[in-house]
Amino acid sequence: MNSVPSYVSISWSRDELTIIDQTLLPEKEVYLELTSHRQVWDAIKKLKVRGAPAIGIAGAYGLYLGISPLPENDPALFLHQAEEIASYLNSSRPTAVNLSWALDKIVHKLMRASDLPVATLKKLALQTAMEIHEEDRQLCKRIGESGVALIPDAARILTHCNTGSLATAEFGTAFSVILHAFRQHKLNHVWVDETRPLLQGARLTAWELKKAGIPFSLNIDSAAGFLMQQGEVDLVITGADRIAANGDTANKIGTYSLAVLANRHRIPFYVAAPYSTIDLQIENGNNIEIEMRSADEVSHFGEKKTAPEGIDVYNPAFDITPGELITAIITERGILKPDYSKSIQTYFG
């Protein structure tokens, strides 16, 4: 499959990181040119760039943007400042492990090469960011190729949040499986959860599916159970922000409810993610930090207030789906099945 979407979520050229501003979609297709690590931090925090793999890629370029103006006469100071910039970028959003994974990868490379001149270390950081970017494109393509084997003919797939090219270097994770199924004429329909409160399903997945010419309907999140009860859903597939060593998975708020519903209706529930989303340091989902976001996202609909002034709001951005509710985890190296404690270990060799 060689087709490239008519938009690019992240690109790098001449010391500038260009991202499509995902907060303005689908109304406006605006590209932002980021030239400092502070701008990258802000773009990640405000979800201008979002989706676990995409924030890892943006963070990696952000680290390069942060270190490139640093003086080159004191290597020890340079490495110390590089670590500080990495930790600053990592503070933008806590749940998706891809961000710390990408930043750690670059910092470790710099540490291992610390006897090289600082100018060379800077080039090494940029080269690694570009490798992370290109690798993600390949991983996502392979996730689609391996996941399509799980899709029955004439499949009706329900998905949540946005997992497409916008959320990755290209192709997406769960979206890549959907795209491959469509190309192989195995897809009947996609049900798209709108994904309250920030509407990544309505604004972004619907936009990407429409551009790809894939048949879909947009539904409110709370219609998912009714759709399953009516026999309209053959499988559910989502992405992931962090997968613990036992398969427990953090993903967009509402994913856990979908997994419970799928289980109740004996519908397969799949998670698609690259190896960079699996965190072996985290034993189980209880130890994954869940980002809490501002009250305004729930008490307002855009500019319009939809709740009384001054009330308390609960707004976690993610939830944890226990591994026992996940039928399989689709990776670039094939399909992982329960017991995930074992299959994930085997996967990492």
Cβ-based nearer residue to ligand MRU, 128 or 251:
251
Cβ-based nearer residue to ligand MRU, 100 or 163:
163
Cβ-based nearer residue to ligand MRU, 178 or 317:
317
Cβ-based nearer residue to ligand MRU, 43 or 261:
43
Q: Give residues 78-107 in contact with ligand MRU (rule: CB under 6 A).
A: 96
Q: Give residues 152-171 in contact with ligand MRU (rule: CB under 6 A).
A: 161, 163, 167-168
Query: 70, 44, 77: which is closest to 58 by C-alpha?
Result: 44
Query: 128, 135, 95: which is closest to 279 by C-alpha?
Result: 95
Set 193, 234, 241, 319: catalytic member: 241
Active site residue 241: yes
Alpha helices in 216-303 (DSSP H): 224-229, 255-264, 296-299
Q: Give residues 199-228 in contact with ligand MRU (rule: CB under 6 A).
A: 200
Alpha helices in the chain (DSSP H): 37-45, 52-67, 75-90, 97-112, 118-147, 174-183, 206-212, 224-229, 255-264, 296-299, 340-347
Rounded Cα gap, residues 302 and 288, in angstroms: 29
Rounded Cα gap, residues 196 and 319, in angstroms: 13
Q: Give residues 31-60 in contact with ligand MRU (rule: CB under 6 A).
A: 47, 50-53
Instruction: Name the minimum Å distance from CB 173 to ligand MRU.
Output: 4
Q: With contacts defined by CB under 6 A, how many residues of the chain interact with ligand MRU?
A: 20
Residues marked as catalytic: 241
Question: Could you list the residues that contact ligand MRU (CB under 6 A)?
Answer: 47, 50-53, 96, 161, 163, 167-168, 172-173, 200, 238-241, 251-252, 317
